[in-house]
Amino acid sequence: MGDRPRSDRTLLTSWVSINGLKAYVLWDSGSTSTAVSPAFASISKLQCFALTEPVKLQLGTVGSRSMINYGADAPVGLPGCASAYFDVVNIDTYDAIIGASFMRQHKVKMDFQTMEVLMNGERIPGITLEGVKAAGAEVMARRHQLTRE
C-alpha cells in the first residue's frame, strides 16, 4: 500500500469577494450548503441572523454532524450574481464553500482540466496552493487590519 497520488487531492478553489473581502473559496459539488466560516463572517462584518429553526449539517462520515444556527446574506463578486445566502458553519481551511444548490442555480461548471469555474458564461480562474501562499500574506495583513478597526 502506498500514498494516494497527489493529483487525486486536487480541489477547485478560487478567490471570491464576499461582503467586499477577498475570500478563499472551495467549490464543492458534494455539499448541499453554501457557507462561510464564523471567523470570516466576523472579520468581514457580515450581518448574521439566527435561524428560526436550526438545521442539521450531516457530513459524509459516520458521527460527523453539526448544527447550522446562523445565516447571512452578502454581496458577492461573481458573474451574474450580486448577492448570496450563506450558512454560517464551522468550516476548516476555507473562508467559504460554494455548494451544489448555488452551482445549479447559477449554471456553474467546474473544469478540472483548466482549473477554472465557468459561471453564467464567464470564467473564474482556480488557484493553486502556490497562489494561495503568494496571496496569503497580503490577505492575512488585510484581515489583521480589519479585526483592529
pLDDT in tens, 6-64: 555 578 899 999 999 989 899 999 888 999 999 999 999 999 999 999 988 866 556 66
Q: In this structure, is residue 3 part of a structural domain? A: no
Beta bridge partners of 55: 68
Residue 50: other Cβ atoms inside 10 A: 9
Give the Cα separation of 16 and 27 in Å (integer).
11
Which CATH number belongs to the domain containing residue 38 in this structure? 2.40.70.10
Q: In this structure, is residue 66 part of a structural domain? A: yes
State the cell numbers at 13: 478553489
Q: In this structure, is residue 6 part of a structural domain? A: no
Domains contained in the chain, number: 1
54-95 pLDDT tens trace: 988 866 556 667 789 999 999 999 999 999 999 999 888 889
Q: In this structure, is residue 5 part of a structural domain? A: no
Q: In this structure, is residue 2 part of a structural domain? A: no
Query: Domain span at residue 59?
Result: 11-148
DSSP 7: G
Q: 96-129 burial by CB neighbour count: b if 16+ within 10 A, else e?
A: bbbbbebbeeeebebeeeebbbebeeeebebbee
Q: How far is CA 26 from CA 2, 50, 92, in A?
A: 27, 24, 11
